[in-house]
Structure 1
Amino acid sequence: MKLNHTFLALMAAGLCSLPPAAFAQTAKDFEDMRNELKALRAELNALKAQQAQAPAAAPAASASAWNDRIEAVELKQKDAVVLGDIPGSFRLPGSETSIRVYGYAEANMVKDFKGTAPGDHFTNLMEQPLGDARGGKTSLTAQTSRFGFETSTPTAVGTFNTKIEADFYAYCGSECNRNRLRLRHAYGEYAGWLIGQTWSTFMDTDNLPETVDFNGPPGATFRRPAQVRYTYNNPNLAKFQFALEEPTDGAKGLNFVARVDKAFDWGNVNARLLSHEQRIEGFSKRGLGFGLGAGYKITGTATLMAQYTRLDGDGDGAYLIGANYPVLDGSTVRLDRSHGLVIGLSNVFSEKMRATVSLGAVRSRQRLGDDYVNAYGGEGNHKLYQWHAGMYYLPIKNVELGSELIGGRRTTFDGQKGDMLRLNLQARYLFN
């Protein structure tokens, strides 16, 4: 915890060291001060010329007053901070780097009407209690609050961008208090190259429905690995990305991702390929993944989105949320063959209200009697589906109130079922 406290203290000190006028000045304000300073200097020079021709005591006093005015404007200019090149950012005088500080404080209340899955405040359908489980718990948490900052610096071949973001939801084992600092994003981006930690290149963030629930529906990718990514964007053709990503826990070889995206006036489409290694007790196997995604603008305010993912195994449960873990069958690593689908429909009713309904589903292609199921057990997940119906209301600027009803069902290989039904209420207070 000492490192976490030190990090927070350094960030707080950095923010507090900004000039008092930070965020208050615009580029026009700064230019007006420069023009005022030039005018004052011109008037002072004219006054000095008059003194040289007809020296007197009164002009000397006036010159002193002019000097005081010039000094005041210089101090004001020195303390000024101007708007940066990215929305919500600022720049210090003499610096070309735009800096944006952002984040939000967030509180969630979750009420389970069925049984509560272990290990998390938010949805965890993969471990939903089986049978007619009732009397789920009510929980409150603010651990998903976050903060971050990003920078943008112009160069001869484009901008150099950086980003660091953290929240307080670090994993620390089942049924523990996760209230500790966790790194979400940390990367630099320049001339098409990205190096650092951020969303996986295999993840379709463009077509992932918004949910009040922090985890969202199963059936999609939700991973933030360290990676090296190269992007080639040809607006007339498509955007191509290639990445080497941090391997799954225990694996030694890097994961490889290739992706192509195409944007249209009506929406977007993408296709993704993944090669990843899974390793258990010294035995390994390489699996493949494939994904398709699309978004369609039904109207100016309504958007339909969908994504499909096919994956061979998933050791850390993040390349396909809801897929079963690989297992060791003698000296053979068995990979679950899973299919995931997520569909969502969102609509912005006004500046103060938006809503989204979504469905996520995962299905294993294994069956009782298959080698994988014999090694994994009958209680492995055969089918999962989970639906969300939520909305956000913005009563005042920078405040969002969310509510969402969530339901789902888990079905195991041997036919057992576990149902989920819960309500998630949220209050979020944003800055910048």
Structure 2
Amino acid sequence: MSRPIILRSLVVVGVASLALAGCSSDDSSGDSTSSPTAESTAAQGDGTLKIGTLLPQTGSLAFLGPPEFAGVDLAAKEINEAGGVNGADVETIVGDSGDTSTNIASQTVDRQLSQDVDAIIGAASSAVSLTVIDKITSAGVQQISPANTSPEFSTYPDKGLYARTAPPDTFQGQVLGDLIAGDGNNSLAILALDDAYGTGLADNVEKAYTAAGGTVASKQIYDPKAPSFEAEVSEAKASNPEAIALIGFDESSKIVQEMIKQGIGPKDVPLYLVDGNLSNTLFKDLPKGSMEGTQGTLPGAEASPEFRQALLDVDPKLKDFSYAPEAYDATIIVALAAQAAGNDSGRAIGDTLKQVTADGEKCTTYADCLALLNDGKDIDYDGQSGPIDMNDVGDPSKAIMGIYTYGPDNTYERTGSQEGDVPEPEQG
């Protein structure tokens, strides 16, 4: 049962570009290639916490990279200003994740493992993470993603070395399905891209929406690289839906244009977007007002003005803040886990992540948490993305889902939120 939506009136400053979180561009299987760093070696630690970033600098998700890199860099800066981890500065090693059309992610992981990283922040794409998770965890290195939302990770055999600061789409699907039904829409057409993110979120939206009494009139899984989406939109139109949920990435702009062409655009049929296509730039070429009233969901608390300014101080060119809080928090809790364990190895970090995010004394900055740890106290870090309360499978057990609405200028602002417990993963 979902909790009531908390409506807020606010102005979102500079939230632009796509919010491609658990996004990916293809389905992929895990890469089990042996790594150059053995788990037995990694378990020892060397006194210096080394964190690699596996985030998009190139490829179809490159626009998502800047806020995530800024989040990691800001966290590392604050960690070192507070005294570092176990008395030593944390080191970061920048790496590109590319997308699933290349093997850039695998090459980046190989390079970072050879440099003895203890943890890797990334990938942003669920499908990219699935190509390297076996390689990373088999090396005894902690992987933590700020943006993977595919439910698949909740039950993945990751040796206890995978975690994420974004909630799985069991939560986003529940919130979005409830929102669509709560708006009085009795039938729904779902269009979702064909990958782990798209199909997983589509299933969870359908589950929540039908549980609320709605009927899914049409559900189509499409190829995001298709030259045309005329057939998919035509089938959605034929189902005569009262609302449409579009779960995709940058191809969503082409789909919306086709919807408008066929008379089922946002002005004709209520449209709902997700973290993968909620954007202030994706629909900028559409006539003014084309997106007005469209709603969408994006995980995470609202970034405070102070946090946004701190990110801009790190990267003055930053125009998007999506998943910066989650990247920041991922870095902070890795450092806190290493500090609490007195050991910077990936294994020690993995064993301690839950301990520093739940059931202790609340703290919200690295410096404050470090002071509590130095006093011998247990801590519960609540971060920029909201409460984390990591569970046994490395998922946040509590989360916040933002609800956004487009105005007449085809840009969105936060109009509500829902906070609650993340549904437990289904055991297959």
Query: Based on CA coordinates, which of the two structures has the bigger radius of gyration?
Result: 1
Using the size of structure 1 for normalisation, the TM-score is 0.22
Using the size of structure 2 for normalisation, the TM-score is 0.22
Q: Please identify which structure carries the higher strand content.
A: 1
Q: Please identify which structure carries the higher helix content.
A: 2
Bigger relative contact order, structure 1 or 2 (CA pairs below 8 A, ≥6 apart)? 2
